[in-house]
Structure 1
């Protein structure tokens, strides 16, 4: 069976665009994907992180981080956990919307047929009008949009027995039960 060489990259790009079109699901983070991660510091002390993409809001990132802390507590045989330190970082970028800047502009190449033998432009205005060419260095976008990404982090200490009467302590089983309806798992 002969495979079309242009079809494979096109399908890979389509799959990548489709994966980026949704908020980050509750999943383990990989080098190419966002999600949860944790690191054990002591026997009953962990640092838990959850990072989301630009479509994942702050509340979802914090909910997933708390759910992972409860899940980790139960997996290690503990009943409750205490949040020692908790932060949520926001990464804000501005990306161009529309405009004319394209670093991979296909018509911006000094070719012999365009510049001629002595470097003078041949068909200069016609070429620009025909292909809608604009200078890729000076004709930048006129509008930008703000893109925010959130990452929540918490240091937790796990314990056994009844939960102390302190708002910094969480009953792991209750957290898992109450937040289970808000957790979106990856499809496939």
Structure 2
């Protein structure tokens, strides 16, 4: 094989590997300090907080909701309470679309790549003009943010309330499943 081709392929493969390393889910940690992703909380009353967790475009809805519950449990334990109940809870989905031109559709600098047919453009025949326009790849990008208002309590959690959680059990069950910052 051509050594120049092998060098180009190696550079391209290492660039793809480097980019894929950047595409990781939002690690569990506080928002701010250069990142808008992560958790934040606001004290509303002595036993009430508003907790939120914002994920990036690689973080799934399930991961965002688990991180929210984990943070609510940690805030509960840090304030000396045993259980918490969610009063209001919502997960918002932010959708945007990104269009990128197909890199294999046009290559104006190579006579060996591109469409082989010719089109008449501005008085001359051109191998690079397509009357249907350029080809684009469209990608949908989702980003989730979960928020909850919680009320905290001491003693055993209220029986029969599906919105009440034992804080220590939540930490034990969800803590190992939530990716942490390195």
Same-fold call, TM cutoff 0.5 = yes
> Is structure 2 residue 97 aligned with structure 1 residue 94?
yes
Which of the residues 19, 24, 27 maps onto 2:26?
Answer: 24
Residue 167 (structure 1) aligns with: 162
Deviation for aligned residue 1:17: 5.9
**1:45 — aligned with what?**
48
Mapped to 1, the partners of 2:22 and 2:37 lie a distance apart of 11
Q: Which moved more, 1:89-98 or 1:60-69?
A: 89-98
Aligned counterpart for 1:181 among listed residues 170, 176, 179: 176
Q: How far is 1:22 from its partner?
A: 0.7
Q: TM-score, normalised by structure 2?
A: 0.69
The match for 1:55 among 58, 72, 85 is 58
Deviation at 1:141, TM superposition (A): 5.6
The residue correspondences of 1:136-147 to structure 2 (distance < 5 A) are 142-147=136-141
Please give the TM-score of this superposition, normalised by the length of structure 1: 0.67
Query: 1:92-123 deviations in whole A, cap 9, x for unaligned?
Result: 000113347xxxxxxxxxxxxxxxxxxxxxxx
Instruction: Give the RMSD, CA atoms, in angstroms.
Output: 2.6
| Aligned-pair CA distance for 1:85 | 0.4
| Conservation of the 8 A alpha-carbon contact between 1:99 and 1:141 | yes
Q: Cα deviations across residues 22-69 of structure 1 (Å, max 9, x unaligned)?
A: 110101001534100011101110000000001000000000000000
Q: Which residue number in structure 2 is paired with residue 66 of structure 1?
A: 69
Which has the larger strand fraction? Answer: 2
2:101/2:134 contact within 8 Å kept:
no
Deviations 1:128-173 (A, max 9, x none): x9xx9xxxxxx66622100000000000000111111111110000
The answer as to whether partners of 1:96 and 1:141 remain within 8 angstroms in 2 is no
Write the distance in 1 (CA, Å) between the matches of 2:55 and 2:61: 8
Counterpart among 58, 68, 75 of residue 78 in structure 2: 75
1:179 aligned counterpart, secondary structure: helix
Gaps of 5+ in 1: 1-15, 101-124, 133-138
Alignment counterpart, residue 149 of structure 2, candidates 136, 155, 159: 155
